[in-house]
Structure formats: C-alpha cells, structure tokens
Structure 1
Amino acid sequence: MSNAHAVVLFGHGARDPEWARPMRRTRDHLHTLAPGLRVELAFLEFMTPTLDEAIAALVHDGVRHITVVPMFIAQGGHLKSDVPRLIGAARERHVGCEIALAQAVGEADGVIAAMAEYALASSGASAA
C-alpha cells in the first residue's frame, strides 16, 4: 500500500438519483481544491456504492489513509450506531489501512456559519 490519501463523502442515499447532486458538487469542488486527492462518494442505502464498496475499491487501488466524511446535518441514529459499526468492520477487513471518521459535516463550525449566513441572506434581513 502507498501513503496515498482519500476522502469518502458518505451520505444517507435516496431513491431519486438527483438527491446526490450536492455531494457530487462537493466532490468536484474538492477536486478543484486538491487535484491529487482521491474523492469518492458512498451511501448508506438506496444508492451505490456502499461505504464498504467504496473503501474496498480505495484499498484495492493502494490507498492507505481514508477519511470518511458524513454528509449529514447532525449526529443522529445512523451516525451514532450504524456508521461506527460500518467503520469498525472496515477497519477489521483492511488492517494496515487508517480509516478515520470525521464529524457530521453539518456540525462543523464553518458549515454552521455558512448555513446561518445563507438563511440570513435568504430572509432579506440584514445582520445586526
């Protein structure tokens, strides 16, 4: 394995493929910011690839450091139980590969600030 790094943007998934458009846009923006960084999408249900499939493909390609970024607004049930279980199973299957789990994207201070600024701008009100 190499010292290559990758990011997996992990979302819930939906039956409508257009649901993943913001995730694809985020992936594309990441490619602009870090052209050499491998960025994959993965989904909990309804869409493919699954998290396990995305991680397995990265490991197969020699990636040794993987950060899973949950594209969730908050730390709900899936992030409290399902995702840690999935990450634990992936770590057991891919010994020697570092698999990190970031906090839910919606809980990051910068994202919260951006959402507040967007809500303010959408409201037509002005900041104090």
Structure 2
Amino acid sequence: MPKAALILFAHGARDPEWAEPMRRVGAALRQQAPELRVELAFLEFIQPGLRECAESLLGEGFERIVVLPMFIARGGHLKRDVPLLLDELRRGHPRACFELAAAVGEAETIVQAMAAHALTVAGG
C-alpha cells in the first residue's frame, strides 16, 4: 500500500487566526490517528500553499496524497482552480496519486452537525 498523507485544504485569509479551526481539526486527526500524516495547506494568504505542501510530502516519500477541501461547498475554486493545480502536480509527479475529496461541508455527517448546532444556537 502506498505511503499516504492527508492535506486539509482551506481557502485562507489575511487574518492568521482564521485558520484556527483547521488547526484544531488537524490536531484532532493526529490524536485520533497518529499513524496518518496530516498537513494543512491554503489557497491564498496563508502558507503553505497546496503545491508547496504536496511537493514537501512527495519529497518525504509519500506516494498518495488525499486533498480534503475544508470548504462548505464546491464553488469556483474547487471546480476550476484546484483541479488545474492538481493536474499540474500530476504532470510533474506522474508516479504519485493525487485524490481530491468532496468539500467537507457536503458530507451528510457535516450537514447534520451544522443543523444540530443551528438548533442549539436557536434554543431548540
């Protein structure tokens, strides 16, 4: 089985505190699955970018990289920009396997968690 890593991929923001929830998700994953390599990467404003993160992992011998977009839904970046970037990485590293997962917010478990949270906030 190829050596695999997971990249939590988020949009990024000028305020570095914006990334704190993604850091918390990464920490929770590392605690629950210490054998899984988990990294964070960003589309803009915060480093590392997706390309730099993926190439660093490839340099460490990871052969399969799963990119999990930490987005609520699949918008323009995930429909256009990210597939182009992954195509570039695939061309530059043909032996590696790059997988793009669905946006995290589209997973039914996340939809239900957001609904439960909304009910809690609303007092229900």
Q: How many residue pairs end up in the alignment?
A: 124
Measure the CA separation in 1 of the matches of 2:13 and 2:85: 19
Measure the CA separation in 1 of the matches of 2:33 and 2:87: 28
Measure the CA separation in 1 of the matches of 2:114 and 2:90: 33
Measure the CA separation in 2 of the matches of 1:19 and 1:34: 24
Unaligned runs of 5+ in 2: none
Displacement after TM superposition at 1:118 (Å)? 0.5
| SS of alignment partner, residue 74 of structure 2 | coil
Unaligned runs of 5+ in 1: none
Output the TM-score relative to the length of structure 1. 0.94
* Paired position in structure 2 for 1:54: 53
* Paired position in structure 2 for 1:78: 77
Measure the CA separation in 2 of the matches of 1:68 and 1:94: 16
* Paired position in structure 2 for 1:122: 121
Over the matched positions of the two proteins, sequence identity in percent amounts to: 52
Once the two structures are superposed, the pairs formed by residues 22-101 of structure 1 within 5 Å of their partners are 22-101=21-100
Output the TM-score relative to the length of structure 2. 0.97
* Paired position in structure 2 for 1:10: 9
| SS of alignment partner, residue 111 of structure 1 | helix
The one-letter code of the counterpart of 1:14 is A
Measure the CA separation in 1 of the matches of 2:113 and 2:69: 17
| SS of alignment partner, residue 68 of structure 1 | strand
Displacement after TM superposition at 1:4 (Å)? 1.3
1:43-82 deviation per Cα after TM superposition (whole angstroms, max 9, x unaligned): 1111100000000000000001110000000111111100
Aligned Cα root-mean-square deviation (Å): 1.0
| SS of alignment partner, residue 34 of structure 2 | coil
